[in-house]
Amino acid sequence: MKISVQSVNFNISNDLVNYIEKKVNNLEKFHDHIIGAEIFLKVQSTSEKENKIIDIKVKLPGIDIVAKKHSKTFEEGVSLAVDSVKRQLVKRKEKLRA
């Protein structure tokens, strides 16, 4: 699976990239035909503590699965978004079986 991680208006650390790749690679357990994933990390300039925005797009043949989360840290947001994508992949796979 090809994973693309992009940060908007800030530099991303290698540790965070490795964490994201590890989490996203685990999605292959839930669907066999994942082509790739695009992850966009943004920092919103507000006074709120939950100013980190994480967008994950997982590409499947014929469809894209998307999750967008707001959180205090990128690690927390990535975990929440990956869990959301995981539920969508399982639901889609069950729908295909029926």
pLDDT in tens, 7-47: 988 899 999 999 999 999 999 998 888 999 999 999 988 77
| Fold category of 2-97 in CATH | Double Stranded RNA Binding Domain (3.30.160)
Find out whether 13 and 75 touch, Cβ atoms under 8 Å.
no
Q: Which of 60, 74, 62 is nearest to 6 (CA)?
A: 74
Q: What pLDDT digit, counting tens, does each position of 57-80 carry?
A: 999 998 999 999 999 999 999 999
The ranges assigned to domains in the chain are 2-97
- pLDDT tops 90 at residue 85: yes
Find out whether 80 and 68 touch, Cβ atoms under 8 Å.
no
Hey, is 73 helix, strand or coil?
coil
Q: Count Cβ neighbours within 10 Å for each residue of 6-34 and write b for 16 or more, e otherwise.
A: ebeeeeeeeebeeebeebbeebeeebeeb
